Structure 1
């Protein structure tokens, strides 16, 4: 078949696949996209479209395979990196999955920072970082508990070997040992998020903080929504306010990032 005919046929199959996908007929869509791939295997969108169908069917192994192929063909594929990241998270490959999501966010923000997929990627990235912390925290706590039990057992056995009575001094040593391990465990315990790192309206951690002329910092999307739907005034001070008066608060943004680096559990609230 001539190249032009193959391209035309593949595009027609892709359109058919899109129609099937919209009707939630994922198996039929997969078949159509596969036929398009057979005709034109070097078109990355055919691979990401099929990966999306596999995602809907929770077939994450095939999602990973198709996305890796799409990225080979197009290193700037936002959907390729995004869905590959999600697939890796399914097998608890958190570090690698987070890298792919971060790459997808970087590529997506560079293209259209306000698109729906950028917001979706940002939410999944926050969730992934929280899951990574939760997984690592559970492992650390289990290791600490195991080590604590071994130390307590060794301490008790030492006194038994020496035919010593297990009296007040020995109990104090066990209590001191417990305090040491409890102190180590507190490192992974969530604390309160400082108020200044949270939007006054949503009470959630800032992602894109902007400051008004009155000195109040808001989440950009939230304050813009207020200006459009409620009125052109600062919701805290009631002073007149327009979108063009808002300035990115880089200091608060950096403070949030530093807080998240030190307290990954807080991604749950971002």
Structure 2
């Protein structure tokens, strides 16, 4: 057994040393990742759940990982630290290898899956990121609330990016956009509960996902309207042809009346659908009309005097009663009696809703 364990140690050590300076991944064809992380991930960093001693620079990596005196848990932490170093230098492929070693050594630590998922996000490996997030979320004992927040956020972001990438390439997506919204909503709720600094970043993604779903639903509606338009026109034309066929060659005046009546009906249909198309072009809700918690159109906007931020009354009151007496975005103290009605904004929103009934479903 000692020789077997020693062999495993050698294998894992060699895995970390393989192509240590190479930041490309020939196996999946991804380009070399930028040394500067993309802006949409700029605030997310690999997690260190515990403070482990730094790896001794005087020893080679293989010697450290081959040490039979180290426990699997401590070796896993050393691999995680190695992954963190690679991540900080933009070597995401190498970081994935190191985090994978950590997972092998200690598969019950959700932090390793969270860190590896973030690397997959940086490399646009959406489904790998989703898989790591799902595995991490299953580990209830080590997935602290802070780690759960990250895992839900990474999963929702990966699913959203996968859908958008497929749409850009003219392909069918995963059909998991609603799941992405649910994940981002969970991350957003957790960020408020934890008074996280990631709240704004998560809120942006959550709002984007909801907007994408509405756009898809609206596009589908327009397609259905277009199909209905064509169907009604053909129906009128078939009725005209049937009447003309029954009449035969006789009654040229009647034939003309039938043709004219058909043309009038088609003109009415065209006018009706033309107006519908004109209205559909205006299906956009200004961000100022959306609540800062649910991102739905506000019906009773109120201002938090502590921050100057406008919330929908029902949402902010629910937050104050169930979560805490503080502003959910600025985390300043706040009480229900301090809320001030935003009458000017309410008037504008009411007028907008009266002209755009569809916005209730936004």
* TM norm structure 2: 0.55
CA drift of 1:15 comes to 1.2
State yes or no: 1:10 paired with 2:100: no
Equivalence map 1:49-198=2 (5 Å): 49-74=115-140, 76=145, 77-89=148-160, 90-91=162-163, 92=173, 93-113=176-196, 115=197, 117-163=198-244, 164-165=255-256, 167-182=259-274, 184-185=276-277, 188-190=280-282, 198=288
CA 12–248 in structure 1, closer or farther in 2 if over 3 Å, else same = farther
Instruction: Show the counterpart of 1:46.
Output: 112
- Once the two structures are superposed, residues 76-96 of structure 1 have per-residue CA deviations (whole angstroms, 9 ceiling, x without a partner) of 401111111122222352211
Report the 3-state secondary structure (helix = DSSP H, G, I; strand = E; otherwise coil) of the residue aligned with 1:218: coil
Instruction: Show the counterpart of 2:100.
Output: 34
Whole-Å separation in 2 of the counterparts to 1:48 and 1:211? 35
CA RMSD of aligned residues (A): 3.7
Instruction: Show the counterpart of 2:292.
Output: 207
Whole-Å separation in 2 of the counterparts to 1:264 and 1:63? 34
Instruction: Show the counterpart of 1:226.
Output: none
Once structures 1 and 2 are overlaid, which stretch shifts more, 146-155 or 122-131? 146-155
Instruction: Show the counterpart of 1:263.
Output: 359
Report the 3-state secondary structure (helix = DSSP H, G, I; strand = E; otherwise coil) of the residue aligned with 2:71: helix
* TM norm structure 1: 0.71
CA 58–101 in structure 1, closer or farther in 2 if over 3 Å, else same = same
- Once the two structures are superposed, residues 133-176 of structure 1 have per-residue CA deviations (whole angstroms, 9 ceiling, x without a partner) of 11111111011101211210121121012114454432221132
Whole-Å separation in 2 of the counterparts to 1:136 and 1:58? 26
Instruction: Show the counterpart of 1:236.
Output: none
- Once the two structures are superposed, residues 218-251 of structure 1 have per-residue CA deviations (whole angstroms, 9 ceiling, x without a partner) of 337xxxxxxxxxxxxxxxxxxxxxx889944577
Once structures 1 and 2 are overlaid, which stretch shifts more, 71-80 or 153-162? 71-80
| Count, aligned residues | 230
Q: Greater RCO between the two (CA within 8 Å, min separation 6)?
A: 1
Does the CA contact (< 8 Å) of 2:240 and 2:259 recur in 1? no
Whole-Å separation in 1 of the counterparts to 2:128 and 2:237? 54
CA drift of 1:112 comes to 1.7
Whole-Å separation in 1 of the counterparts to 2:154 and 2:334? 37
CA 191–28 in structure 1, closer or farther in 2 if over 3 Å, else same = closer
- Once the two structures are superposed, residues 172-202 of structure 1 have per-residue CA deviations (whole angstroms, 9 ceiling, x without a partner) of 21132234434555664436768xx84xxxx
Does the CA contact (< 8 Å) of 1:78 and 1:104 recur in 2? yes
CA 31–264 in structure 1, closer or farther in 2 if over 3 Å, else same = farther
CA drift of 1:43 comes to 0.6
Whole-Å separation in 2 of the counterparts to 1:36 and 1:6? 9
Does the CA contact (< 8 Å) of 1:190 and 1:265 recur in 2? no
Structure with greater Cα Rg: 2
Whole-Å separation in 2 of the counterparts to 1:54 and 1:88? 12
Does the CA contact (< 8 Å) of 2:305 and 2:340 recur in 1? no
CA 3–129 in structure 1, closer or farther in 2 if over 3 Å, else same = farther
Does the CA contact (< 8 Å) of 2:117 and 2:132 recur in 1? yes
Structure with the higher helix share, 1 or 2: 1
